[in-house]
Amino acid sequence: MKKTTGFDRNTTRHWHPATQAVRGGTWRSEHGETSEALFLTSGYTYDDAETVAARFAGEETGMTYSRLQNPTVAMLEERIALMEGAEACRTQATGMAAMTTALLCQLSAGDHIVAAKAAFGSCRWLVDQLCPRFGIETTVIDGRDNDAWEKAIQPNTKVFFFETPANPTMDIVDMKHVCGVARAHGITSVVDNAFATAVLQRPMDFGADVVAYSATKLMEGQGRVLAGAVCGTEKFINDVLLPFQRNTGPNLSPFNAWVVLKGLETLDLRARRQSENALAVGKFVEKRVPKILHPGLASHPQHNLAMSQMEACGPIFSFILEDRKQAMAFLNALQLVDISNNIGDSRSLCCHPASTTHYSVSAEARADMGVVDGMLRINIGLEDPRDLIADLDQALTKVGL
Ligand SMILES: *Cc1c(COP(=O)(O)O)cnc(C)c1O
């Protein structure tokens, strides 16, 4: 296999994320196929025994086993790295496999991690439940409070971990400040960028060391497969992440990698249109509900910070009804929008975080991060916003709003 002339990453690194999303990492076989080939293979064969020995010894490049390398997966990894402005990327089977790998590959018993309290339920579970079981100390803070990060630092602090916007409270973290504090103290900042992706926000441009993804969401974009990714320097990926990943095996399947490659081709288009639609729908919802948390609206307390970090607001926002009963009745009244706990999909989906995505988080932690019983989270898709507004209008009317 040869890389098509002109696709050497050293000469194409300057391409913008939208171009990388279509072209980056393309690696064509001798057939010159237009669309990326799907190498659905677990292993490889060799012409002679010396070749395989040289590959295992690292003296010769080439594939040896799909837990270690796979051409389709490698294309996706190179594409994501180029979109992100990162030196390297490795993909995992799910977003949670990516988060677990990004944290555990670099943490040991006796280390300390500082994390923002507003986070996806399973990310909070990693911090609250898993890390302490392995002797990793954790401190959870309000990620919106710039000073809280520095105050939480201990001599053994190794990692800052946060998402922005956060799921589902839409808290925004000031990346330039927080990643700067991390750098100044030799701490690795790990940013979960699932709500934005590289086309709307590139954390490394603000000083992030590691960017981790649920590629299940906007990247894949059409609700088909689960996937995850971790981006960082070549040194971090090769020396810290790869020994963990190669020996524990949280790898992404080539088939799923291929589906995500196809999804990335339309990411820029989808993310921007879904952001536009989310803004239009948000402006309507804002007039009808007690509270809305939408980074694209001036009513969001961190609207200016959000828009200084993001090119567009993204497809997701939350709003708060009076109580759980009214929130459930609203979901049940929806006709076009599906009741579903996924996000980033081209379909509009709405869910009740307290009983779904954040069910695994303790009631105290939920209350502390602001995931109240009346909260609903909505992902706005590619439908005509007029139809979405009509559906939300009738559902709000039905619950008396
Ligand atoms: C969905 C999500 C995850 C987990 O990703 P999976 O692909 O479902 O494992 C992690 N972080 C955030 C912010 C998410 O929205």
123 lines ligand 1 (CB under 6 A): yes
Closest C-alpha among 345, 352, 353, 330 to residue 383: 345
Give the mean pLDDT of 28-48: 94
- Closest CA to ligand 1's atom 1: 214
Ligand 1 atom nearest the C-alpha of 96 is 9
Binning pLDDT at 50, 70 and 90, where does residue 361 land?
Answer: confident
- Closest CA to ligand 1's atom 2: 214
* Contact present, 251 and 67 (Cβ < 8 Å): yes
Q: What is the pLDDT of residues 224-282, one digit of tens each?
A: 999 999 999 999 999 999 999 999 999 999 999 999 999 999 999 999 999 999 999 99
Ligand 1 atom nearest the C-alpha of 119 is 13
Give the mean pLDDT of 292-298: 98
Query: Measured in angstroms, how far is the CA atom of residue 96 from the centroid of ligand 1?
Result: 6
Torsion (CA) 282, 287, 289, 291 in degrees, nearest 10: 70
* Contact present, 374 and 323 (Cβ < 8 Å): yes
Rounded Cα gap, residues 317 and 109, in angstroms: 37
Closest C-alpha among 397, 398, 167 to residue 287: 397
pLDDT at 11 over 90: no
Closest C-alpha among 211, 246, 252 to residue 232: 211
Q: Which domains does the chain have, with CATH numbers?
A: 9-264 (3.40.640.10), 267-398 (3.90.1150.10)
Binning pLDDT at 50, 70 and 90, where does residue 12 land?
Answer: confident
The pTM of this model reads: 0.96
Per-residue confidence (pLDDT) for residue 219, from 0 to 100 = 98
Give the mean pLDDT of 302-306: 98
Strand-pair partners of 229: 91, 213
Locate 18 and state its tokens: 């939208």
Query: Measured in angstroms, how far is the CA atom of residue 110 from the centroid of ligand 1?
Result: 27
Ligand 1 atom nearest the C-alpha of 98 is 9
194 lines ligand 1 (CB under 6 A): yes
Ligand 1 atom nearest the C-alpha of 194 is 13
Torsion (CA) 31, 35, 40, 41 in degrees, nearest 10: 40
Label each residue of 50-85 as H, E or C: HHHHHHHCCCCCCCCECCCCCHHHHHHHHHHHHHHC
Q: What is the pLDDT of residues 181-229, one digit of tens each?
A: 999 999 999 999 999 999 999 999 999 999 999 999 999 999 999 999 9
* Contact present, 150 and 181 (Cβ < 8 Å): yes
250 lines ligand 1 (CB under 6 A): no
